[in-house]
Structure 1
């Protein structure tokens, strides 16, 4: 197995494993190697450093730490707190949605359509819809959008 760092014509970089260098060439020739971000088939090998294992006598023992080693990423202080800026942004968005709109559960599609048609008062709502219900709402011009987080069902 060989791991290549690849990049597409849009300069997206990603790693992929191949059985051999020949396997990569064969798959690339058949346009079966695509960018994981944009799906572009114009993929090339990117510059990468080889991974060479040191001799066993020169290997760093677990108790030793190399002098030029980078410091480890800080451990999260709590599993209940966001570990990254992206997680914090999603948590903030979720809090805003939950505080400023009404959860309507599985009745989302019906209520969104009623508000769009003017038979129900407009208000901010969120809830759950099946894929076919969501597609029908979009096709009918009802402004809806998926939320980038799972909704925890609320009970009475």
Structure 2
């Protein structure tokens, strides 16, 4: 099993596990390798070396590690939001109004709506928050 360091065009770094380098190249050419943060399939392989825990690590290595930790925290937070909210899909605006006007049980919901409907909800005093969900979290993990 080969563990490769990968990066998307947006600078998100992540690891990929492949049977071989040829397997990686094959999956990459078929656009099967995608960034777990943004879903981009334009992925490049980064140079990698054995990971040694040395006390004199460079600032650049520390920044990269901090960025990876922050991305992992964001992904955990998004997973928690997905677990604790009901997906009402394209009925979001309608359901948010029903909850706001006590026509439906109060609960945390998520879904999609048009920019016009989102603006109307805010104007009605209904608090909403736009939260883009990375493609990797939209489908069950395999």
Structure with higher Rg: it is: 1
TM-score by length of 1: 0.43
TM-score by length of 2: 0.47
**Greater fraction helix:** 2
Higher RCO structure, 1 or 2 (CA under 8 Å, sep 6+)? 2
